[in-house]
Amino acid sequence: MLVNGTWVAKWDPVQAKDEKGGFVRQVSSFRNWVTPDGAPGPTGRGGFAAEAGRYHLYVALICPWASRTLMARKLKGLEDAISLSIVEPELTDQGWRFAAGADPVNGATYMHEIYTRADPGVNGRATVPVLWDKATGTIVNNESADILRMFNTGFGALARGPDLYPADLAPQIDALNDAIYPALNNGVYRAGFATTQIAYDEAFHDVFATLDALEARMSDGRPWLHGDRFTETDIRAFVTLVRFDAAYHGLFKCNLRRLADYPHLSAYAQRIYQLPGMASTVDIGHIKRGYYSIKALNPSGIVPLGPELGWLDGAQG
Ligand SMILES: N[C@@H](CCC(=O)N[C@@H](CS)C(=O)NCC(=O)O)C(=O)O
């Protein structure tokens, strides 16, 4: 964690708890937006106009939040316009680390250096994803929900592909996002990082109540959560579903059922995985190595060999 721009402690997954011992995720601190003409976005200041080659995305392949942005970058055809750095899967005592040469933009060894470069007095955790502006040498935004929406419309004619947040579906999208985020996306983390039984129990029930509700929702044969149109809610659900059996079921003790035990949700996740380009955003090896490197949860560091995840076979790049 960074205090006034200095890395102060060994990396610890939980640095904030609520009164019941529940895991509290840090609020993102850089909230500017790329827009087609550089006008300010919904939060933050302006000056970040869409330009091919100007922005750089930092991600971890284990991280569901970063993966949201990776999926959107692919679906919107922005790979050529926005360059990419991927951190190593294992978390170190100084947080995310780059392999040699993995950060050609800033030449950093640790993700926290990107934060101090943007703000020498920065406070907080050095999280991914980060959208970096090469032109002004700063972080545009480190909130995946914002970056996802920016990739949808902020890059104007540089982007193509489906509208992930169509105006007529916005209220439904917002409502389902708001239900899924605390109970499922962050719910698995609340279960995994709970420091009291009561906090774990609550998170566990939230996770499975949400999976049950999503399974029921998909049982009418709709292809996507909001019907015939693939939206950002599908991205947000997928990033947790694809990690579920490999990481959350075991390491995070979300073990009432597996994704594999939900037939409609399994088929739905596979449908997303098979969309062009989506398989390239998923690396189960990274995901397992990353999660099982969290020493507070797995002191031995041993990475399990299973489970079998046959549904991930055979998709194209
Ligand atoms: N609000 C952020 C959360 C991102 C986040 O929590 N990322 C985690 C990885 S999944 C991280 O980088 N953690 C490092 C740390 O907490 O030190 C977002 O959605 O973009």
> Coil, strand or helix: which one is 268?
helix
What pLDDT shows up at residue 21? 82
Report the C-alpha gap between 27 and 57 in whole angstroms: 19
What is the rounded distance in angstroms from the CA atom of residue 201 to the CA atom of residue 194? Answer: 9
Q: Which atom of ligand 1 is nearest to the CA of 28?
A: 1
Quote the ligand 1 centre to 228 CA distance (angstroms). Answer: 31
Ligand 1: lining residues by beta carbon, under 6 Å: 11, 25, 28, 60, 63, 65, 95, 125-129, 142-144
Q: Work out which ligand 1 atom sits closest to the CA atom of 143.
A: 20
Atom of ligand 1 nearest to the CA of 64: 10
90 vs 96: CA distance, rounded Å: 7
Please provide the size of the chain in residues.
Answer: 317
pLDDT of res. 316: 61
At residue 167, the pLDDT reads 98
Find tokens 């109970």 and name the residue: 183
Mean pLDDT by 10 residues, the chain (317 residues): 84 77 81 97 96 98 98 98 98 95 98 96 94 98 98 98 98 98 98 98 98 98 98 98 98 98 98 96 96 95 94 75
How remote is the CA of residue 221 from the centroid of ligand 1, in Å? 34
As a whole number of angstroms, the distance between CA 229 and CA 246 comes to: 28
| Pick from 274, 58, 73: nearest CA to 161 | 73
For ligand 1, atom 17, name the residue with the nearest CA: 125
- Helices and strands (H, E) in the chain, number of each type: 9, 6
| C-alpha 220 – ligand 1 centre gap (Å) | 34
Whether 231 contacts 176, CB under 8 Å: no
Active site residues per annotation: 63, 189
The architecture in CATH of the region 167-312 reads Up-down Bundle (1.20)
Q: What CA–CA distance (Å, rounded) separates 228 from 219?
A: 14
Q: Give the integer Cα–Cα distance in Å for 48 and 27.
A: 22
Give the dihedral sign, CA 129/185/154/161. Answer: positive
pLDDT of residue 269: 98
The CATH number fitting domain 2-158, selected from 3.40.630.30, 3.40.30.10, 3.90.110.10, 3.80.10.10: 3.40.30.10
| CA proximity to 248, closest of 281, 282, 297 | 297
H/E element, 223: none
Our mutation pick for probing the ligand 1 site, out of 32, 57, 63, counting the most ligand atoms within 8 A of Cβ, is 63
* Atom 10 of ligand 1, nearest CA residue: 63
Check residue 39 and give its pLDDT.
Answer: 97
Domain boundaries, the chain: 2-158, 167-312
**Nearest ligand 1 atom, CA 96:** 14
Cα distance between residue 171 and residue 169, in whole Å: 6
